[in-house]
Structure 1
């Protein structure tokens, strides 16, 4: 379930990359978020969120940025690359942060 911007204040909001986007678009969002303080170390090789699938890496990093910067006005858009969802994208090894917005 995706949230409208008005619903972004709900508990458990996660920022994720939209499916089916070109890797280059996701990489721009990744580079921006990592440059602005997202926790990108978890997606490095041997990290719990490392994956060869760009979407999974993008999801973790844009969510990390959003959870850190959302309370101070950061958005979950990344030039149309990302959107909010109430569905937890965590996997067995890779846990996503969430919180009230």
Structure 2
């Protein structure tokens, strides 16, 4: 009985000690100019971001605005690069970390570099 209680106490202590970090996203700052937003899209999409969802047939194309497309591209880049690059959300000050999920409708903003980054179109 004592061994069971000890094991339970260890398990509860370990669970409390190893809590997961909160999800984060990287989005364009509202004060970024349209020119800067376009440059961030161009850079992110050419440097490893999955930009297929913001193409005309993608789930994140609408709204067809620079802020929406820039945020998606920036976040995709950030999720793929953040493990090895602590400045992955910088974009020369044009982007910021968000703790509120910017996903909407069928447009899923990944919050990790895992499977959901690759599977943003809703199929395997």
Q: TM-score, normalising length from structure 1?
A: 0.84
Which has the larger Rg? Answer: 2
Q: Structure 2: any 5+ residue segments left out of the alignment? A: 1-20, 114-124
Larger RCO of the pair (alpha carbons < 8 Å, separation 6+): 1
Residue in 1 that maps onto 2:88: 75
Cα deviation code 1:11-66 (max 9, x no counterpart): 21100000132211001111111111100111000210103211011111100000
Structure 2 residue matching 1:33: 3-state secondary structure: helix
8 Å contact 1:11–1:99 — kept in the other structure? no
Q: CA RMSD in A?
A: 1.7
Partner Cα separation in structure 2 for residue 69 and residue 18 of structure 1: 19
Q: TM-score, normalising length from structure 2?
A: 0.69
Cα deviation code 1:50-83 (max 9, x no counterpart): 0321101111110000000001115201011100
Partner Cα separation in structure 1 for residue 44 and residue 103 of structure 2: 19
Partner Cα separation in structure 2 for residue 60 and residue 39 of structure 1: 9
8 Å contact 1:17–1:59 — kept in the other structure? yes
Which one has the bigger helix percentage? 2
Residue in 2 that maps onto 1:6: none
Q: Structure 1: any 5+ residue segments left out of the alignment? A: 1-9
Q: How many aligned residue pairs are there? A: 92
Would you identify which runs of 4 or more consecutive aligned residues in structure 1 move more than 6 Å? Answer: none
